[in-house]
Amino acid sequence: MPSEESQAHYTEELKLIPSDIFYLYYDRRVLDGEISRIDKMPFGGLTRSDLGVPLKNHYYLCMQKPFKFHPEVDTLFCGIMTKDPDGWLVLHQEVSQDNQEVFEKRLKRAGCDLSRIVFLKQQPHHRLLALYREAAVVLDSYPAGGDTTTREVIEMSKPLVTLPARLLGGRWSLGYLSNIGLKEDTKRALIASTPEEYVDLAVQLGTDDTLREAVEADLRECSSNLFHREEAVAAWQEMFLEISPYQQCQEGSENEVVLHEEL
């Protein structure tokens, strides 16, 4: 909607956001008027010591928002830690201290070694990308999985292990990984069919450097296929035409478009 027309639809005063904000990392200070624009923040120079993650051991990363941490995922996280005693887990910290205590009790009850878990607060976007880069494996949450997160991880060419759920919210990662031209071996290394396989795949990638490098190379080769897909535009168009309450004229027809008669 043109910015000059937007105010008519709101009682609140709208503020114009610079056009470059949407492909740079988000900062609430822009909306609050504390800064006028956002500069792109490089992350290439950030080290593990800057990020607050283990300096030597490899780590498995899941920075999905805590509300996605259904108790079903506890056994997956803890299973990975049990099978890989050298691995650490880096998770998103709860905002509420009370909720954080509940979450830690859940993980301990599920068998996790809390001394090998790092909880991080919400990160600025450039630091989040650095966390992906440094991780051995990125873990998809379950049953609500990643969407934007998955796209970013693929673009970073990092392995992401997913367990597709029954509903759409848990199948975005499956869709992305299945449609960018990855080798069958790569897809088998990333897409689990059972909770047990999810744990096994994560640990295999975390502990086998040769396998992980092969998967990363394939992701690097295919990641560009995720973007600018004309067939996606055509699929949306076809779907909207199919559900439209209006009959569509055949090409060259002089008939008017009419509303479907209600049954």
Alpha carbons 84 and 99: distance in angstroms, whole number: 27
pLDDT tops 80 at residue 259: no
* Least confident window among 10-14, 42-46, 59-63, 225-229: 10-14
Classify burial at 164, counting beta carbons within 10 Å of its beta carbon; exposed 0-12, middle 13-18, buried 19 or more: buried
- Mean pLDDT value across the chain: 85
Query: What is the b/e burial string over 3-13, where b = at least 16 CB atoms within 10 angstroms of the residue's CB?
Result: eeeeeeeeeee
Residue 87 structure tokens: 């691995």
CA 151, 196, 58, 136: dihedral to nearest 10 degrees? -20
Cβ contacts of 111 within 8 Å, gap of 6 or more:
75, 78, 79, 81, 82
pLDDT tops 70 at residue 71: yes
pLDDT tops 60 at residue 243: yes
Alpha carbons 217 and 227: distance in angstroms, whole number: 18
pLDDT-derived band at 44, boundaries 50, 70, 90:
confident
Classify burial at 14, counting beta carbons within 10 Å of its beta carbon; exposed 0-12, middle 13-18, buried 19 or more: exposed
Return the pLDDT at 172: 94
* Least confident window among 163-172, 201-210, 226-235: 226-235
Return the pLDDT at 249: 67
Each residue's pLDDT tens digit, 130-159: 999 999 999 999 999 999 999 999 999 999
Alpha carbons 60 and 161: distance in angstroms, whole number: 10
Residue 61 forms beta bridges with which residues? 90, 138
pLDDT tops 60 at residue 207: yes
Alpha carbons 19 and 8: distance in angstroms, whole number: 21
Domains present along the chain, CATH in parentheses: 57-226 (3.40.50.2000)
Decide which of 25 and 126 is more confident. 126
Decide which of 228 and 25 is more confident. 228
pLDDT tops 50 at residue 27: no
